[in-house]
Structure 1
Amino acid sequence: MECAVYDTYVQKKDGKIMHFDVVVEANTPHEKAIQYGQEWLSTVGQAGQKMTSEECQFCHIQEAPPFVEKSIKQQGYWIQKMEGCPN
């Protein structure tokens, strides 16, 4: 599966920056990727934090590894945690 990767930086409620990628099927609209990112933020206690096309920017297209493809098929997206993300 070809997937689109959106490089995302969101300021957390404590003021620190959380860096993660929102990974979606390649033909998914940017607005939907942002929506998925907002959904994920709510699951990690960061609901309501600013996440727009400014914080979530298209990065590249790549082939999804099997575990990412499985997540995308099940819930529409995969979050690749980078810096400042909860475990």
Structure 2
Amino acid sequence: MKVSVWDTYVQREDGEIMHFDILVPNLVTNEETIFNYGRTYLKSKPFKTGKLTSSECKFCHMEQATETIINAIKNKGFYIIEMEHCN
């Protein structure tokens, strides 16, 4: 499965900047859908964050998904790769 990688930076309430990638099937192109996946992920965090819009989230590239990513996408519709300050 080919996936689109959306590079995302969102400010936390403590001032740190979260950096994570939102991975979706390459056929998912509606930005609002992708941002909503990111918002769903942010709601799972125990801290508050700033907004997630096109200013914070941009298409980066496409890549081939691993089996783990494919399974997560089948279950939730998206996959998150946490990079910095996500916990």
Structure 1 runs, 4 residues or longer, greater than 3 Å off: none
Q: How many residues get paired?
A: 86
Q: TM-score, normalised by structure 2?
A: 0.93
Equivalent residue runs for 1:47-86 within 5 Å: 49-86=50-87
TM-score by length of 1: 0.93
- In structure 1, list runs of 5 or more residues that go unmatched: none
The residue number in structure 1 matching 2:46 is 45
CA distance in 2, matches of 1:23, 1:47: 22
Query: Alignment identity in percent?
Result: 41
1:10 partnered with 2:10 = yes
- Other structure's SS at 1:41 match: helix
| Stretches of structure 2 lacking an aligned partner (at least 5 in a row) | none
